[in-house]
Structure 1
Amino acid sequence: MTTPLRIVIIDDHSIFRSGLRADLDDTVDVVGEAADVPSAVAMIAETKPDVVLLDVHLPGADGEFGSGGEAVLREALPLAPDTRYLALSVSDAAEDVVRVIRAGARGYITKGASGAEVSAGVRAVAAGDAVFSPRLAGFVLDAFGAVTGEIAARPDELDRLSAREQEVMRLIARGYSYKEVAADLFISVKTVETHVSAVLRKLQLSSRHELTAWASARRLL
């Protein structure tokens, strides 16, 4: 049996922490909780978890980093360099997303996500992937596209994909779920899965995360 990932939940609402803890699956093990910046930093330094679920807005920041989440990242990253951070917030404001990612978080999901989705996000971040709720990925790609460098898409690359496959590719690369793509394009989830498999095969990519990087570098989003 795989050892559960050790996580810490940082949020200033105890009811939310309790509810989230109950909803997470058995692939994660909550080893600590904290409600403000100082206690969060102390908890992370003590437990050195695999992943921290970090609320963006927390009390106890020193004023330089107004959101609180950024203050935790600034202070805790040097104390537990192997720990990864997944922002979990009610806010889907572009500035909140970009600021916390710039500070060092590996992903950002909103509190509307289910326990299963949060657990999956924890596993993905622990494995080194970036994780974003649908439509939030665009904020990050817009903010960081200039630094990642642009590559013009060769005509033959896009010619490999049908018009429908290109539509699916763009939505998946932006962080939409299969269900949301299906609803947006008025097709079945099974059809979306088929198109995604074809896109990955034709572009010689192995995951949707590689697809996002590929599309972002070519400014296809």
Structure 2
Amino acid sequence: MADTLTVVVVDDHSIFRSGLRADLDRSIEVVGEAADVPSAVAVIAATRPHVVLLDVHLPGGSDASVSGGAEVLRRVASEVPSTRFLALSVSDKAEDVVGVIRAGARGYITKGASGAEVSRAVQAVAGGDAVFSPRLAGFVLDAFGAAVGETAAADDELDRLSAREQEVMRLIARGYAYKEVAATLFISAKTVESHVSSVLRKLQLSSRHELTAWATARRLL
């Protein structure tokens, strides 16, 4: 890793972004900022920073069932596999913490943290560690305990799907369009549609958004 860590700050309040930029350690370089979901996806893909400081609640999302921060993660994380995401939010609600961690964030700290604390968290996450504000760690431990059961059950659920259905499931969950899946697997779009219907029925899901959440929670992507 380079001596200087590169960071993108994603938050819909410009004053907060400016203040955070000024408070971060000198070894951390802010290479981009964004105020909503679309601009966050664009700047992260363009700059490929070591760490993204990501607000949980962002405007501009297209899926009302997930937070803006979680949507950013789901849309861009696979394009920047070496980038780590650290959630930074005023919210300390369990559902916000668990939702963004399940989407792929490596840590979650509240905005009451000092510049020095945020800097240390950035450095830790960049190094591969997970970082949480102390009072939020219990939420993650509780969720992880539940996830162990989910992961064990995932093998049984996958056994319901044929090998081809599993291939289609993973591509659809990653956001591929039917035509893109068809081209990748050398099958027709109509066949893809048939496989998707079968997958949703077997897993008792109702939409591709639910399928993405199901696959992400079980670390199948």
TM range (shorter): 0.5 to 0.7
Secondary structure, counterpart of 1:61 in structure 2: coil
2:17 — aligned with what? 17
Q: Tell me the distance in 1 between the aligned counterparts of 2:10 and 2:146.
A: 31
Q: How does 1:33-72 map to 2 (within 5 A)?
A: 33-72=33-72
2:11 partner letter: D
1:142 — aligned with what? 142
- Runs (4+) of structure 1 exceeding 6 A deviation are none
Q: Tell me the distance in 2 between the aligned counterparts of 1:146 and 1:126.
A: 27
| C-alpha distance 14-142 of structure 1, shift in aligned 2 (>3 A) | same
2:79 — aligned with what? 79
1:205 — aligned with what? none
2:145 partner letter: G
Q: Does 1:113 align with 2:117?
A: no
Q: Tell me the distance in 1 between the aligned counterparts of 2:44 and 2:112.
A: 25
TM-score, normalized by length of structure 2? 0.65
CA drift at 1:65: 4.2
* Native 8 Å contact 1:52 1:85 kept in 2: yes
Q: Does 1:95 align with 2:95?
A: yes
1:26 — aligned with what? 26
Q: Tell me the distance in 2 between the aligned counterparts of 1:146 and 1:103.
A: 16
CA drift at 1:66: 3.5
Q: Tell me the distance in 1 between the aligned counterparts of 2:45 and 2:134.
A: 32
TM-score, normalized by length of structure 1? 0.65
Q: Tell me the distance in 1 between the aligned counterparts of 2:36 and 2:139.
A: 26
1:37 partner letter: V
CA drift at 1:44: 0.4
2:71 partner letter: A
Q: Does 1:127 align with 2:136?
A: no
Q: Tell me the distance in 2 between the aligned counterparts of 1:146 and 1:83.
A: 27
Q: How does 1:171-210 map to 2 (within 5 A)?
A: none
* Native 8 Å contact 1:6 1:28 kept in 2: yes
**Cα deviation digits, residues 128-186 of structure 1 (max 9, x gap):** 1100001100000001113348xxxxxxxxxxxxxxxxxxxxxxxxxxxxxxxxxxxxx
* Native 8 Å contact 1:7 1:28 kept in 2: yes
**Cα deviation digits, residues 34-93 of structure 1 (max 9, x gap):** 000000000000000000000000001002443100110001102211100000000000
Secondary structure, counterpart of 1:77 in structure 2: helix
* RMSD between aligned residues: 1.2
Q: Which runs of 5+ in 1 are unaligned?
A: 150-221
Q: Which runs of 5+ in 2 are unaligned?
A: 150-221
Secondary structure, counterpart of 1:30 in structure 2: strand
More helix per residue: 2
1:118 partner letter: V
Matched residue count: 148
* Native 8 Å contact 1:56 1:87 kept in 2: yes
* Native 8 Å contact 1:98 1:139 kept in 2: yes
